[in-house]
């Protein structure tokens, strides 16, 4: 989704009439930091970044109240941007980060997590969910790695020269070029994200990779069957090979047209932990850091975006309900998740792993193969 639209969807969402005061978010975020040792990493989240202007005080307060150490941010769209357009996208976000030096910092290597935590800034991990911006050329992996992209996908729901997405009509699995892409990403220290890949492509990518592969944002098919939710067999294979699955907050957690609530979210989290084990599950929100605005104007824009996605062939079945879980549509969602896990009897160490340490370990395992700075 276009980040400017995300900014629009969040634009009015933190009005005093609709949500708790910012200081309440901040207090809860402090509790989450205690629960996680201060390390919070979201595997897929859109921050409120605008290259044309720094954030105002209200947005800045919401960012701080999240308590985040770092987040993985999607660049290059959902398969709708080519290489040149993605270069512009990367430059725009780098510019936006520079406009907010008191709030954000770039994650260029694993050591930057410690610096982000020390300074209280939110680290931004540049990433791709799609593969179209690579334009079927292995050398473009090098190009974007040099630009600081640390996580890359092979496809966004559709077919690419590298493999098949979850909506592919004639899935072909991981192609010869896809095998080359996996090898090159391994060599350059790029994490491979198979969130939008079909099962055949996913299994093959895990098998071909020398380092852990990630599903940064998905749900569990055994809890609710949906093309974007992953089977137990895939989750077990992912975990066996050191990977991590981040549980998202999309409506695909429940049957259409329901809006998922915290109970539905925890059901997927519980299942993933049972199947994968506590070292291989994380949080991958797949929404906005700031609260999603459900005003009529915002929802009209959201519905227009869904129609655009349908026309482009990337819309998954059941898209329509806004991308949040009832009870988690707030920047300090991590404290709510931590409390819900604690209430279900999870020990503090497990909560720490899920809310940050598992993704940190997986990133360390993959990035160490490549250059340590960009």
> What is the tens place of the pLDDT at every residue in 240-292?
999 999 999 999 999 999 999 999 999 999 999 999 999 999 999 999 999 99
Check pLDDT > 90 for residue 4.
Answer: no
Residue-range domain boundaries for the chain: 3-367
The full DSSP string for 235-295 is HHHHHHTT-EEEE--SGGGSSTTPPPBHHHHHHHHHHHHHHH-TTSEEE---EESSPPP-S
Tens of pLDDT along 330-362? 999 999 999 999 999 999 999 999 999 999 999
Check pLDDT > 90 for residue 372.
Answer: no
Q: What is the pTM of this model?
A: 0.92
Check pLDDT > 50 for residue 177.
Answer: yes
What pLDDT is stored for residue 369 in this prediction?
A: 67
Q: Alpha-carbon torsion 217, 256, 173, 143, what sign?
A: negative
Banded pLDDT at 201 (limits 50, 70, 90) = very high
Which class for 26: exposed (0-12), middle (13-18), buried (19 or more C-beta within 10 A)?
middle
Helix (H, G, I), strand (E, B) or coil at 134: helix
Is the CATH number 3.40.50.80 carried by domain 3-367? no
Banded pLDDT at 16 (limits 50, 70, 90) = very low
Q: How far apart are CA 235 and CA 244, in angstroms?
A: 9
Tens of pLDDT along 280-290? 999 999 999 99
- Mean pLDDT within 119-133: 98
């Amino acid at each position: 989704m276009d980040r400017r639209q995300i900014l629009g969807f969040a634009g009015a969402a933190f009005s005093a009439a609709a949500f708790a005061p910012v200081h309440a978010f901040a207090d809860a975020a402090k509790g989450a930091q205690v629960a996680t040792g201060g390390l919070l990493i979201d595997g897929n989240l859109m921050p409120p970044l605008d290259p044309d202007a720094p954030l105002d005080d209200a947005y800045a307060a919401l960012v701080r109240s999240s308590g985040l150490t770092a987040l993985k941010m999607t660049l290059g769209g959902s398969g709708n941007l080519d290489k040149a357009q993605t270069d512009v996208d990367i430059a725009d976000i780098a510019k936006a980060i520079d406009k907010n030096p008191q709030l954000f910092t770039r994650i260029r290597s694993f050591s930057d997590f410690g610096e982000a935590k020390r300074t209280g800034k939110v680290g931004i991990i540049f990433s791709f969910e799609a593969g179209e911006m690579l334009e079927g050329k292995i050398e473009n992996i090098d190009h974007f790695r040099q630009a600081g992209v640390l996580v890359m996908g092979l496809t966004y729901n559709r077919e690419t020269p590298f493999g098949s997405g979850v909506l592919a009509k004639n899935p072909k699995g991981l192609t010869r070029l896809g095998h080359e892409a996996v090898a090159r990403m391994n060599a350059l220290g790029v994490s491979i994200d198979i969130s939008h890949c079909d099962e055949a492509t996913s299994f093959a990518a895990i098998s071909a990779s020398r380092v852990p592969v990630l599903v940064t944002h998905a749900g569990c098919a055994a809890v609710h069957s949906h093309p974007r939710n992953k089977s137990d067999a895939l989750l077990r294979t992912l975990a066996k090979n050191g990977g991590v699955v981040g549980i998202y907050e999309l409506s695909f957690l429940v049957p259409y047209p329901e809006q998922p609530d915290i109970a539905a979210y925890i059901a997927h989290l519980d299942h993933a932990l049972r199947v994968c084990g506590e070292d291989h599950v994380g949080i991958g929100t797949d929404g906005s850091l700031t609260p999603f605005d459900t005003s009529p104007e915002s929802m009209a824009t959201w519905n227009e975006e869904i129609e655009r996605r349908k026309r482009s062939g990337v819309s998954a079945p059941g898209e329509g309900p806004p991308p949040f879980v009832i009870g988690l549509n707030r920047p300090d969602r991590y404290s709510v998740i931590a409390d819900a896990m604690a209430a279900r009897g999870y020990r503090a160490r497990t909560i720490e792993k899920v809310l940050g340490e598992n993704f940190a370990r997986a990133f360390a395992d993959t990035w160490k193969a490549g250059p340590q700075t960009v």
